Amino acid sequence: MTVQLTGTSSSGRAESSEPTGPSPLSATAPAEASHASVRLVSLRVGDGRRRSRRRAVALRLAVPIGIFVAWWILTVTNAIPPTTLSTPSATWDAFVELLRHQDLVGDVGISIRRAVLGLALGAGVGLILGIVVGLTRLGEELLDAPMQMLRTVPYPALIFLFIVWFGVGEASHVLLIALATLFPMYLNTSNGVRNVDRRVVEAARSFGLQGRQLVRRVVVPLAMPSIMTGLRFSAGISVIALVFTESIGASQGIGYLVSQANSLQQIPILMVCIIIYALIGIAADISVRILERCTMPWRRHQAVR
Protein backbone atom coordinates (compact mmCIF):
# COMPACT_ATOMS: atom_id res chain seq x y z
CA MET A 1 0.00 0.00 0.00
CA THR A 2 1.28 3.42 -0.84
CA VAL A 3 -0.08 6.56 0.71
CA GLN A 4 0.53 9.99 -0.69
CA LEU A 5 0.80 12.40 2.17
CA THR A 6 1.22 15.91 0.91
CA GLY A 7 0.04 19.24 2.17
CA THR A 8 -3.49 18.55 1.00
CA SER A 9 -3.98 15.75 3.46
CA SER A 10 -5.80 17.23 6.40
CA SER A 11 -5.11 14.29 8.71
CA GLY A 12 -1.41 14.61 7.96
CA ARG A 13 -1.51 18.19 9.11
CA ALA A 14 -3.58 17.45 12.14
CA GLU A 15 -1.15 14.89 13.47
CA SER A 16 2.04 16.69 12.67
CA SER A 17 3.85 18.67 15.27
CA GLU A 18 3.61 22.33 16.08
CA PRO A 19 5.87 24.50 13.97
CA THR A 20 9.28 24.32 15.51
CA GLY A 21 11.87 26.97 16.17
CA PRO A 22 14.62 28.01 13.81
CA SER A 23 15.90 24.92 12.07
CA PRO A 24 19.52 23.94 12.41
CA LEU A 25 19.25 22.72 8.88
CA SER A 26 18.15 26.02 7.46
CA ALA A 27 21.56 27.63 7.32
CA THR A 28 22.77 25.82 4.24
CA ALA A 29 19.70 24.10 2.84
CA PRO A 30 17.82 25.63 -0.04
CA ALA A 31 14.26 26.43 0.91
CA GLU A 32 12.66 24.33 -1.85
CA ALA A 33 14.27 21.16 -0.63
CA SER A 34 12.07 20.99 2.41
CA HIS A 35 8.90 21.45 0.41
CA ALA A 36 9.29 18.59 -2.04
CA SER A 37 6.69 16.08 -0.95
CA VAL A 38 7.86 12.72 0.24
CA ARG A 39 5.98 9.61 -0.79
CA LEU A 40 5.31 7.54 2.29
CA VAL A 41 4.78 3.80 2.22
CA SER A 42 3.00 1.82 4.86
CA LEU A 43 4.95 -0.93 6.61
CA ARG A 44 3.44 -4.27 7.44
CA VAL A 45 2.12 -4.61 10.96
CA GLY A 46 1.43 -7.69 13.06
CA ASP A 47 3.14 -10.36 15.09
CA GLY A 48 4.67 -12.15 12.16
CA ARG A 49 7.07 -14.17 14.26
CA ARG A 50 4.32 -16.06 16.02
CA ARG A 51 4.38 -19.19 13.87
CA SER A 52 2.33 -22.12 14.92
CA ARG A 53 4.10 -25.19 16.16
CA ARG A 54 1.86 -27.45 14.13
CA ARG A 55 2.89 -25.66 10.94
CA ALA A 56 6.56 -26.06 11.81
CA VAL A 57 6.13 -29.81 12.34
CA ALA A 58 4.19 -30.12 9.09
CA LEU A 59 6.96 -28.34 7.17
CA ARG A 60 9.61 -30.62 8.66
CA LEU A 61 7.65 -33.71 7.62
CA ALA A 62 6.71 -32.44 4.16
CA VAL A 63 9.81 -33.54 2.23
CA PRO A 64 10.16 -37.04 3.78
CA ILE A 65 6.45 -37.69 3.17
CA GLY A 66 6.79 -36.36 -0.38
CA ILE A 67 9.66 -38.76 -1.05
CA PHE A 68 7.67 -41.65 0.35
CA VAL A 69 4.63 -40.82 -1.80
CA ALA A 70 6.80 -40.49 -4.92
CA TRP A 71 8.44 -43.83 -4.13
CA TRP A 72 5.06 -45.46 -3.66
CA ILE A 73 3.53 -44.05 -6.87
CA LEU A 74 6.58 -44.78 -9.04
CA THR A 75 6.89 -48.40 -7.92
CA VAL A 76 3.19 -49.33 -7.74
CA THR A 77 2.57 -48.03 -11.26
CA ASN A 78 5.62 -50.00 -12.40
CA ALA A 79 7.28 -46.84 -13.68
CA ILE A 80 10.28 -48.24 -11.83
CA PRO A 81 10.40 -52.05 -12.05
CA PRO A 82 10.73 -54.09 -8.81
CA THR A 83 14.14 -55.35 -9.94
CA THR A 84 15.35 -51.76 -9.59
CA LEU A 85 13.35 -50.55 -6.61
CA SER A 86 10.96 -52.57 -4.46
CA THR A 87 7.49 -51.32 -3.62
CA PRO A 88 6.72 -50.01 -0.12
CA SER A 89 4.58 -53.08 0.57
CA ALA A 90 7.32 -55.53 -0.51
CA THR A 91 9.72 -53.56 1.70
CA TRP A 92 7.29 -53.83 4.60
CA ASP A 93 6.99 -57.58 4.05
CA ALA A 94 10.76 -57.89 4.09
CA PHE A 95 10.83 -55.89 7.31
CA VAL A 96 8.28 -58.19 8.97
CA GLU A 97 10.17 -61.22 7.69
CA LEU A 98 13.42 -59.89 9.14
CA LEU A 99 11.73 -59.25 12.47
CA ARG A 100 10.24 -62.75 12.62
CA HIS A 101 12.90 -65.01 11.22
CA GLN A 102 16.07 -63.06 11.77
CA ASP A 103 17.08 -61.12 14.80
CA LEU A 104 16.59 -57.62 13.30
CA VAL A 105 16.18 -55.96 16.67
CA GLY A 106 19.39 -57.60 17.85
CA ASP A 107 21.19 -56.53 14.68
CA VAL A 108 20.12 -52.92 15.05
CA GLY A 109 20.97 -52.96 18.74
CA ILE A 110 24.47 -54.27 18.23
CA SER A 111 25.08 -51.78 15.41
CA ILE A 112 23.96 -48.86 17.52
CA ARG A 113 26.14 -50.09 20.36
CA ARG A 114 29.17 -50.17 18.08
CA ALA A 115 28.40 -46.73 16.68
CA VAL A 116 27.87 -45.15 20.09
CA LEU A 117 30.96 -46.71 21.65
CA GLY A 118 33.10 -45.79 18.65
CA LEU A 119 31.72 -42.27 18.60
CA ALA A 120 32.28 -41.79 22.32
CA LEU A 121 35.86 -42.95 22.04
CA GLY A 122 36.69 -41.13 18.81
CA ALA A 123 34.91 -37.87 19.63
CA GLY A 124 36.34 -37.94 23.17
CA VAL A 125 39.92 -38.28 21.96
CA GLY A 126 39.27 -35.75 19.19
CA LEU A 127 37.91 -33.29 21.76
CA ILE A 128 40.93 -33.61 24.05
CA LEU A 129 43.44 -33.38 21.21
CA GLY A 130 41.54 -30.44 19.74
CA ILE A 131 41.64 -28.55 23.02
CA VAL A 132 45.34 -29.24 23.51
CA VAL A 133 46.23 -28.19 19.97
CA GLY A 134 43.92 -25.18 19.96
CA LEU A 135 45.14 -23.91 23.30
CA THR A 136 48.88 -24.57 23.43
CA ARG A 137 51.60 -23.77 21.01
CA LEU A 138 53.48 -26.95 21.95
CA GLY A 139 50.38 -29.03 21.21
CA GLU A 140 49.92 -27.45 17.83
CA GLU A 141 53.54 -27.86 16.80
CA LEU A 142 53.70 -31.42 18.06
CA LEU A 143 50.34 -32.83 16.98
CA ASP A 144 48.70 -30.79 14.25
CA ALA A 145 50.86 -31.95 11.32
CA PRO A 146 50.56 -35.69 12.17
CA MET A 147 46.79 -35.29 12.59
CA GLN A 148 46.52 -33.62 9.21
CA MET A 149 48.50 -36.50 7.67
CA LEU A 150 46.41 -39.23 9.29
CA ARG A 151 43.19 -37.39 8.45
CA THR A 152 43.54 -38.06 4.75
CA VAL A 153 44.02 -41.83 5.14
CA PRO A 154 40.68 -43.30 4.04
CA TYR A 155 39.47 -45.40 6.93
CA PRO A 156 37.73 -48.07 4.80
CA ALA A 157 41.21 -49.00 3.59
CA LEU A 158 42.17 -49.88 7.15
CA ILE A 159 39.45 -52.46 7.84
CA PHE A 160 41.66 -55.43 7.01
CA LEU A 161 44.59 -54.04 9.00
CA PHE A 162 42.36 -53.46 12.01
CA ILE A 163 41.14 -57.07 11.91
CA VAL A 164 44.75 -58.28 11.76
CA TRP A 165 45.73 -55.99 14.63
CA PHE A 166 42.71 -56.22 16.91
CA GLY A 167 41.11 -59.52 15.92
CA VAL A 168 37.73 -60.45 14.51
CA GLY A 169 35.67 -58.98 17.29
CA GLU A 170 34.00 -55.90 18.67
CA ALA A 171 37.31 -54.17 19.29
CA SER A 172 38.22 -53.75 15.64
CA HIS A 173 34.72 -52.47 14.74
CA VAL A 174 34.61 -49.96 17.57
CA LEU A 175 38.17 -48.78 16.97
CA LEU A 176 37.60 -48.23 13.28
CA ILE A 177 34.52 -46.12 14.02
CA ALA A 178 36.53 -44.26 16.66
CA LEU A 179 39.24 -43.49 14.13
CA ALA A 180 36.72 -42.26 11.57
CA THR A 181 34.94 -39.97 14.05
CA LEU A 182 38.09 -38.61 15.65
CA PHE A 183 39.09 -36.19 12.90
CA PRO A 184 35.93 -34.12 12.43
CA MET A 185 35.78 -33.61 16.16
CA TYR A 186 39.47 -32.74 16.33
CA LEU A 187 39.33 -30.22 13.50
CA ASN A 188 36.25 -28.40 14.74
CA THR A 189 37.35 -28.34 18.36
CA SER A 190 40.85 -27.05 17.68
CA ASN A 191 39.44 -24.41 15.38
CA GLY A 192 36.75 -23.42 17.89
CA VAL A 193 39.21 -23.19 20.76
CA ARG A 194 41.56 -21.10 18.64
CA ASN A 195 38.75 -18.68 17.89
CA VAL A 196 37.59 -18.16 21.47
CA ASP A 197 37.62 -14.46 22.30
CA ARG A 198 41.09 -13.95 23.73
CA ARG A 199 40.03 -10.88 25.64
CA VAL A 200 37.59 -12.94 27.66
CA VAL A 201 40.26 -15.54 28.37
CA GLU A 202 42.63 -12.74 29.37
CA ALA A 203 40.04 -11.30 31.72
CA ALA A 204 39.39 -14.72 33.28
CA ARG A 205 43.16 -15.17 33.75
CA SER A 206 43.44 -11.79 35.41
CA PHE A 207 40.86 -12.94 37.94
CA GLY A 208 42.95 -15.96 38.78
CA LEU A 209 41.40 -18.68 36.66
CA GLN A 210 44.02 -20.97 35.20
CA GLY A 211 44.83 -24.42 33.92
CA ARG A 212 42.08 -26.99 33.92
CA GLN A 213 39.58 -24.61 35.50
CA LEU A 214 40.12 -22.04 32.77
CA VAL A 215 39.59 -24.70 30.14
CA ARG A 216 36.48 -26.16 31.73
CA ARG A 217 34.79 -22.95 32.80
CA VAL A 218 35.68 -20.59 29.95
CA VAL A 219 37.43 -22.09 26.93
CA VAL A 220 35.26 -25.16 26.34
CA PRO A 221 31.90 -23.40 26.84
CA LEU A 222 32.87 -20.60 24.48
CA ALA A 223 34.11 -23.09 21.88
CA MET A 224 30.95 -25.17 22.29
CA PRO A 225 29.27 -24.12 19.03
CA SER A 226 32.24 -25.47 17.05
CA ILE A 227 32.48 -28.56 19.25
CA MET A 228 28.83 -29.31 18.56
CA THR A 229 29.40 -28.93 14.83
CA GLY A 230 32.22 -31.44 15.17
CA LEU A 231 29.95 -33.80 17.05
CA ARG A 232 27.33 -33.57 14.31
CA PHE A 233 29.87 -34.51 11.67
CA SER A 234 31.27 -37.28 13.84
CA ALA A 235 27.83 -38.72 14.55
CA GLY A 236 27.05 -38.83 10.84
CA ILE A 237 30.36 -40.44 9.98
CA SER A 238 29.98 -43.04 12.74
CA VAL A 239 26.98 -44.48 10.88
CA ILE A 240 28.84 -44.54 7.57
CA ALA A 241 31.87 -46.19 9.17
CA LEU A 242 29.49 -48.74 10.65
CA VAL A 243 28.52 -50.01 7.19
CA PHE A 244 32.13 -50.40 6.12
CA THR A 245 33.33 -52.13 9.23
CA GLU A 246 30.39 -54.52 9.46
CA SER A 247 30.73 -55.59 5.86
CA ILE A 248 33.89 -57.52 6.75
CA GLY A 249 34.41 -59.79 9.73
CA ALA A 250 30.97 -59.41 11.28
CA SER A 251 28.19 -61.93 11.70
CA GLN A 252 25.69 -59.50 13.15
CA GLY A 253 24.64 -55.90 12.66
CA ILE A 254 22.86 -54.01 9.91
CA GLY A 255 26.09 -53.60 7.96
CA TYR A 256 26.27 -57.38 7.87
CA LEU A 257 22.66 -57.51 6.66
CA VAL A 258 23.46 -55.02 3.94
CA SER A 259 26.47 -56.90 2.64
CA GLN A 260 24.49 -60.15 2.62
CA ALA A 261 21.54 -58.56 0.83
CA ASN A 262 23.99 -57.03 -1.63
CA SER A 263 25.52 -60.35 -2.55
CA LEU A 264 22.11 -62.03 -2.81
CA GLN A 265 20.55 -59.05 -4.65
CA GLN A 266 17.68 -58.82 -2.15
CA ILE A 267 16.42 -55.33 -2.95
CA PRO A 268 13.60 -55.22 -0.34
CA ILE A 269 16.05 -56.03 2.47
CA LEU A 270 18.41 -53.36 1.21
CA MET A 271 15.54 -50.89 1.31
CA VAL A 272 14.74 -51.87 4.90
CA CYS A 273 18.36 -51.28 5.86
CA ILE A 274 18.49 -47.92 4.11
CA ILE A 275 15.41 -46.79 5.99
CA ILE A 276 16.90 -47.97 9.28
CA TYR A 277 20.07 -46.02 8.54
CA ALA A 278 18.00 -42.94 7.80
CA LEU A 279 16.17 -43.32 11.11
CA ILE A 280 19.45 -43.77 13.00
CA GLY A 281 20.73 -40.65 11.26
CA ILE A 282 17.77 -38.50 12.32
CA ALA A 283 17.90 -39.93 15.84
CA ALA A 284 21.58 -38.96 16.07
CA ASP A 285 20.79 -35.45 14.88
CA ILE A 286 17.97 -35.02 17.37
CA SER A 287 20.24 -36.23 20.18
CA VAL A 288 22.89 -33.66 19.25
CA ARG A 289 20.26 -30.91 19.12
CA ILE A 290 19.07 -31.82 22.61
CA LEU A 291 22.67 -31.90 23.77
CA GLU A 292 23.17 -28.44 22.25
CA ARG A 293 20.28 -27.08 24.25
CA CYS A 294 21.65 -28.62 27.43
CA THR A 295 25.26 -27.56 26.94
CA MET A 296 24.56 -24.03 25.68
CA PRO A 297 21.66 -22.69 27.76
CA TRP A 298 22.83 -19.13 27.14
CA ARG A 299 22.08 -19.45 23.45
CA ARG A 300 18.44 -20.32 23.89
CA HIS A 301 17.38 -16.75 24.55
CA GLN A 302 19.76 -15.09 22.19
CA ALA A 303 17.17 -14.29 19.54
CA VAL A 304 14.97 -12.36 21.98
CA ARG A 305 15.62 -8.67 22.24
Residue ranges binding other proteins (CB under 8 A):
3, 5-7, 12-13, 15-29, 31, 33-49, 304-305
Q: How far is the CB of 197 from other proteins (least distance, A)?
A: 16
Give whichever of 1 and 157 is closer to other proteins, judged by the CB atom.
1
In the complex with other proteins, which residue's Cβ is closer, 37 or 136? 37
Distances (CA, A) of 41 to 4, 7, 13, 37, 44: 8, 16, 17, 13, 10
Smallest distance from other proteins to CB 181, Å: 33
Q: How far is the CB of 44 from other proteins (least distance, A)?
A: 6
Closest to other proteins by CB, 28 or 77: 28
User: Least Å distance between CB 51 and other proteins?
Assistant: 13
Q: How far is the CB of 15 from other proteins (least distance, A)?
A: 5
Residue number, 10 or 83, with CB nearest to other proteins: 10
Q: Is 2 helix (H, G, I), strand (E, B) or coil?
A: strand
Q: Which is nearer to other proteins, 101 or 301 (CB)?
A: 301
SS3 of 216-258: the string is: HHHHHHHHHHHHHHHHHHHHHHHHHHHHHHHCCCCCCCHHHHH
Q: One-letter amino acid identity for 150?
A: L
Question: Does residue 94 sit in helix, strand or coil?
Answer: helix
| 163 contact partners, CB below 8 Å, separation of at least 6 | 172, 248, 249
